[in-house]
Amino acid sequence: MNGAVTAGACEGGRVLPPGVQEGAVRIPSPRGSLEGVLSYRPEAPARSAVLLLSPHPRFGGDFENNVLAIGARRFAAEGRAALRFNYPGVGKSEGPFRNPMESFRYWSEVLEGDAYDAILADCGAALSWLGDIAAPVHFFGYSFGAVLALRLALERPEVLSVAAVALATGEFRFDFLAMLETPVLAIHPRNDFATPPATVAATLAAESSPAKSPRELVVLDGTDHFFRRREEEVARVAEGFFHMQEERAALDAHAPRI
Domain spans of the chain, in order of start: 11-252
Kindly tell me if the per-residue pLDDT of 4 is higher than 50: no
- Alpha-carbon torsion 119, 123, 125, 126, what sign? positive
Task: Give the lowest-confidence range in 11-20, 187-196, 221-230.
Answer: 11-20
- Please give the share of the chain, as a percent, with pLDDT higher than 90: 73
CB-based contact 82:38 (threshold 8 Å): yes
Distance between CA 68 and CA 149 in Å, rounded?
A: 13
pLDDT band at 19 (very low <50, low <70, confident <90, very high): very high
Task: Determine how β-strand 21-29 pairs with β-strand 32-40.
Answer: antiparallel
Kindly tell me if the per-residue pLDDT of 62 is higher than 80: yes
CB-based contact 141:126 (threshold 8 Å): no
- Please give the share of the chain, as a percent, with pLDDT higher than 70: 91
Kindly tell me if the per-residue pLDDT of 2 is higher than 50: no
CB-based contact 159:246 (threshold 8 Å): no
The whole-chain average pLDDT of the chain stands at 90
pLDDT at position 73 is: 97
Looking from the CA of 134 toward its CB, the CA atoms found within 13 Å total 21
Domain covering 11-252, topology: Rossmann fold (3.40.50)
Kindly tell me if the per-residue pLDDT of 103 is higher than 70: yes
From residue 70, how far is each of 31, 37, 106, 176, 249 by CA, in Å? Answer: 28, 12, 29, 30, 26
For 16, counting Cβ atoms within 10 Å of its Cβ (0-12 exposed, 13-18 middle, 19+ buried), the class is middle
Q: Which residues pair with 32 in a beta bridge?
A: 29
pLDDT band at 213 (very low <50, low <70, confident <90, very high): confident
CB-based contact 82:48 (threshold 8 Å): no
Question: Which pTM does this prediction carry?
Answer: 0.92
- Higher pLDDT among residues 103 and 69, named by residue: 69
Q: How many CB atoms lie within 10 A of CB 177?
A: 20
Question: Tens of pLDDT along 124-173?
Answer: 999 999 999 999 999 999 999 999 999 999 999 999 999 999 998 876 88
For 111, counting Cβ atoms within 10 Å of its Cβ (0-12 exposed, 13-18 middle, 19+ buried), the class is middle
Distance between CA 229 and CA 240 in Å, rounded?
A: 19
pLDDT at position 104 is: 87
pLDDT at position 1 is: 45
Kindly tell me if the per-residue pLDDT of 33 is higher than 90: yes
Measure CA 185 to chain center: 12
CB-based contact 20:53 (threshold 8 Å): no
